Structure 1
Amino acid sequence: MRTNLIICVAVAALLAACGQDGARPAAGTDAGVVNLYTARHYDTDDALYERFTEETGIRVNVIEGNADQLIARMTSEGSASPADLFVAADAGALWRAQSADLLQATTSEELNAAIPANLRDPEGRWFGLNRRARIVAYDSNKVQPADIDTYEEIASPRFRGQLCVRSADSVYNLSLVGALIEAWGPEKTGEWARGVVANMARRPEGGDRDQIRAVNAGVCEIALTNSYYYIRLANGEDAADRAVTEKVKLAFPSLDGQGAHVNISGGGVAANAPNRDNAVRLLEFLASPEAQTMVSAGNNEYPASPNVPAPAPTDAYADFTAHPMSVATYGPRQAEAQSLMSAAGWR
């Protein structure tokens, strides 16, 4: 991800677009603009916005930050907020915006047809646009796929001192543990979290790619990672990273025999969107087969729609079963997940 400092540039651009005095745009004042508050920061996304403008003539003003920064900003702006569309890289972040009454329900036949029910808010306040699986990278010289084909095995004594994982405050880990609570209940999930801590090869540090590289370096035998981080290493320009994936492979554990845990990137129309119709059009465009294919090819996430095949190079890692659990369950479980992880000593 690019640095969050870009938010300053984006904010300046937005203020300039709003007028010399920096006033926020009023509702309906510019039918040719949509103001996007996004916690995603990828070159592929920029290409998407350019494509949307080419097709519709609607200019996308991009304001970037992490999800909590943008939620705080929208809250402070209140009813005068210029935000039209909020996009985040995790169902839990979308839920936090929803819980703060920052998103409004959207009725769209296009969105409902494109996005499966388990990948969107039941009331239409946000929609998943792309999927990622939270799975396991493993040392193929020491571990067999059968050793790590369930989530229980991540915490088993087989891997004492052999697990690399990022911190407990990672939203990806919070959503995974929230999903486990939904499936198993708090008692079994708490036991699992204690097993994870016992299996740590080192204190949590770094991001997902750091965990994968640590497996290659022999620091640990397995690591939790999002699928697209591994796919990027395997297909990037860095020869050393590509070499990592010759030794380190991916396993797709199953949760209760129903498939691997998946999360989403997604978006919802802001509660006070001054350009609501444009926001809906952008959201529908991001859910289109064209946009989902572009993101999958460029960012290596999986399309949310089951009718959109993953393009190369993502398709080489797309032959797995995704758990059908509703991603809307993750957010309400995150506070409990954080508490269980803290109690287990997962920092």
Structure 2
Amino acid sequence: MKIKSIIILPALSILVFSMVISCKRDQNVVNVYSGRHYQVDEQLFREFTMQTGIRVNLVKADTDQLINRLELEGKNSPADLFITADAGRMVQAKEKGLLQPMDVDLITRFAPPSLRDPDNFWTGFTKRARVFVYNPERVKPDELSTYEDLTTDNWEGRILVRSSQNHYNQTLMASIVAAHGQKEALNWATKVVENMAQPPRGNDRDQVKAIAAGTGDVAIVNTYYMGLLLHSPNSEERNIGRQMKIFFPNQEDRGTHINISGIAITAHASNRQNAQQLIDFLLSKPAQIAFAEENFEYPVNMNVEWPELLREWGEFKSDTLPLEKLGKYLHDGMIIFNQAGWN
């Protein structure tokens, strides 16, 4: 396989590779479409190539754009593997017929059922918790309890959270709909908007920085962003991270919302065996340790011990609602965001 050119389209924020396939099957390559943008992924892909001789051709873009691309390419798609940073988009890709079942031997031994598709079309390979981050000088831990409690008057003008266009918030909203139904989910979203310290802006790290700046007091954040702050090359970011604490909500009922990064074999993969090898590699103990130590994500492999930082954050109860069930609530969640005025 040859890469003829790379065209950058700013309006789409997507790398478009013009691929010429010299034969139907190249035994030494696997083509990956990925919605993740982390250095540890590329490090592991290089390690996979060193171990197997199989080259990894990587296309990175927004997950929704990659789904659209897979649909447009159809049977002519060069992609063998599809990677997302969100369970909801993996469910959508399956529903659109863009995936095929995987070999399940290692997957069923390593990944718990709630973090993979029941028909084996996809599996999580890392997970993250959507938690509360707070400054203990302004918030006492006993003030915090559940996602639902953020609607009370105690949090008026104190909540920081990113846009409704963010996939992590969309999947969190889907979990609220699954737990309470559409009516109560709309009430929840409406009150959270009323309690926001500022209109949603920036990424999860920006929400934590806004706490440090005194804009608000509690932020809804994915755990690994705190790890990135604490290990940032920027000393100011490290200092901000050290000022904050993490709280795992809903420990007395359904548990803290969990999301995954997912991986799947595409419906028209030409290099299926190579794709399966890469999936098994990413679920292996060394790769899972790398995700946890380098990107501060929780390992999906149940046999892998958490690194020191994750252990310091503490054990917690996770929401065990199968993530494949959240996909059907994504559309309802987007309507609720709009109705609630959550920009």
Q: TM-score range by the shorter chain?
A: over 0.9
Q: 2:3 maps to which residue?
A: none
8 Å Cα contact 1:26/1:274 also seen in 2: no
Could you tell me how far 1:211 is from its partner in structure 2? 0.4
In the TM superposition, what is the alpha-carbon distance from 1:315 to its structure 2 partner? 3.2
Unmatched 5+ stretches in structure 2: 1-7
Aligned to 2:341: 345
Equivalent positions of 1:176-195 (< 5 A) are 176-195=172-191
RMSD of aligned C-alpha atoms?
Answer: 1.8
Please state how far the C-alpha of 1:146 moved relative to its aligned partner.
1.9
What amino acid maps onto 2:49 in structure 1? T
State whether structure 2 residue 326 is matched by structure 1 residue 330. yes
What TM-score results when the alignment is normalised by the length of structure 1? Answer: 0.92
| Deviation, structure 1 residue 209 | 0.5
Q: State the partner residue of 2:21.
A: 24
2:17 alignment counterpart = 11
The amino acid that maps onto 1:281 is Q
Counterpart residue type for residue 87 of structure 1: I
Higher strand proportion, which one?
A: 2
**2:5 matched to which residue of 1?**
none
For the 8 Å contact 2:251–2:317, the answer to whether it is kept is no
Deviation at 1:80, TM superposition (A): 1.1
- Name the SS of the counterpart of 1:313 in structure 2: helix
How far residue 286 of structure 1 moved from its aligned partner, in angstroms, is 0.9
Q: Is 2:203 the counterpart of 1:207?
A: yes
> Where does 1:216-235 land on structure 2 (aligned, <5 Å)?
216-235=212-231
Equivalent residue in structure 1 for 2:138, among 139, 142, 147: 142
Distance 1:169-1:7 versus aligned 2 partners, 3 A rule: closer
Per-residue deviation, 1:25: 5.6
2:282 counterpart of 1:276: no
**How far apart in 2 are the matches of 1:213 and 1:196?**
20
Q: Which one of 183, 193, 198 corresponds to residue 197 of structure 1?
A: 193
Query: 1: CA distance between counterparts of 2:168 and 2:202?
Result: 13
Q: Which region of structure 1 is more displaced relative to structure 2, 71-80 or 229-238?
A: 229-238
Q: For residues 126-149 of structure 1, give each alpha carbon's deviation from its aligned partner in whole angstroms, at most 9, with x where no partner exists.
A: 100000001111121121122112
Report if the CA contact (8 A) 2:127-2:298 is conserved. yes
Aligned twin of 2:103: 107
Describe the superposition over 1:52-97 as per-residue Cα deviations: whole angstroms up to 9, x where unpaired.
1122111111111111111111111110111100001000111121
Q: Counterpart of 2:258?
A: 262
Q: Which deviations, in whole Å up to 9, do the C-alpha atoms of 1:121-170 show, x marking residues without a partner?
A: 11111100000001111121121122112111222211011111111111
Q: Distance in 2 between matches of 1:259 and 1:237?
A: 33
Which position in structure 2 is the counterpart of 1:46?
A: 42
